[in-house]
């Protein structure tokens, strides 16, 4: 099924993006990326640039699997900190793509949407292609688009919670209000069925980390999510039936061979 998704200057065959943190080993990470078929992996500058040898090993792994790197500003708590991290990431990873995170609340890791919009505007003005990790708030989404973002990454639930979709109404409303904006669900999905659900809503892609990296078999789970995303996308394109309040027979009564014997 040829159904690519366009994110800024990239046309991608896979609608699954993978995080690279907390895998049991680099070898399992590489296997999971290959099993998923993903073409983009997210990387934290703070984690990968901490030591020269670790950075070299990671780059070797990424070159081997052929994935594109999407650096992120994970761990940043202010707009100023996120902007500085993004600028360093552009130098280290040689890309103007940046997944922008500005965390505002410690327990839920909910984005600070005020700092997020501020940082997004500054980075877009510098030529960055910003992928903002945001909430499912319509007003915030509008302000991020006004700031120069061309992709939005709303959460389904708190990062690493595995809860699935906390507010289906909000996600559906976001999709309906911004039909022409690529929307990538980021954070909170824990099972392949969660990914299928958001793809059936019409979302363009899914970003995962913990659901794969902390699974009993990360490689098998990566493949399971890839299949679920493909199925959910196909289901959306096939235009599912409208739910009904009452039953409707799937076999018509007219024309049954025993009607005349009644």
For residue 16, CA distances in Å to 36, 37, 119, 211, 228 come to 7, 8, 26, 13, 10
Reply yes or no on whether 129 is catalytic: no
Strand 153-154 versus strand 184-186 pairing type: unpaired
- Any idea what the Cα angle at residue 39 is, between residues 3 and 178, rounded to 5°? 55
Q: What is the distance between the alpha carbons of residues 154 and 182, in angstroms, rounded to a whole number?
A: 11
Query: In 10 A of CB 74, how many CB atoms?
Result: 22
Note whether 196 and 228 are within 8 A (CB): yes
Q: What is the distance between the alpha carbons of residues 97 and 71, in angstroms, rounded to a whole number?
A: 7
Q: What is the distance between the alpha carbons of residues 213 and 31, in angstroms, rounded to a whole number?
A: 11
Note whether 42 and 209 are within 8 A (CB): yes
Report, as residue numbers or ranges, the catalytic residues.
99
């Amino acid at each position: 099924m040829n159904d690519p998704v366009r994110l800024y200057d990239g046309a991608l065959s896979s609608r699954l993006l993978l995080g690279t943190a907390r895998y049991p080993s680099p070898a399992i990470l590489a296997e999971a990326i290959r099993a998923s078929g993903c073409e983009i992996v997210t990387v934290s500058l703070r984690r990968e640039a901490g030591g020269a040898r670790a950075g070299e090993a990671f780059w070797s792994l990424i070159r081997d699997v052929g994935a594109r790197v999407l650096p992120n500003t994970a761990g940043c708590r202010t707009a100023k900190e996120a902007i500085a991290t993004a600028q360093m990431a552009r130098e280290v990873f040689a890309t103007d793509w940046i997944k922008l995170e500005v965390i505002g609340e410690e327990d839920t890791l909910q984005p600070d949407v005020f700092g997020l919009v501020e940082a997004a505007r500054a980075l877009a003005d510098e030529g960055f292609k910003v992928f903002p990790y945001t909430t499912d708030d319509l007003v915030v989404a509008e302000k991020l688009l006004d700031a120069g973002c061309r992709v939005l990454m709303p959460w389904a639930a708190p990062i690493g919670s595995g809860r699935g979709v906390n507010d289906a109404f909000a996600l559906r409303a976001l999709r309906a209000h911004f039909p022409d904006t690529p929307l990538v669900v980021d954070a909170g999905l824990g099972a392949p069925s969660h990914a299928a659900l958001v793809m059936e809503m019409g979302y363009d892609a899914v970003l995962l980390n913990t659901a794969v990296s902390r699974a009993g078999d990360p490689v098998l789970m990566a493949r399971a999510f890839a299949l679920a995303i493909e199925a959910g996308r196909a289901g959306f394109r096939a235009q599912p039936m409208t739910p009904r309040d009452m039953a409707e027979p799937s076999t018509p009564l007219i024309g049954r061979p025993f009607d005349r014997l009644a």
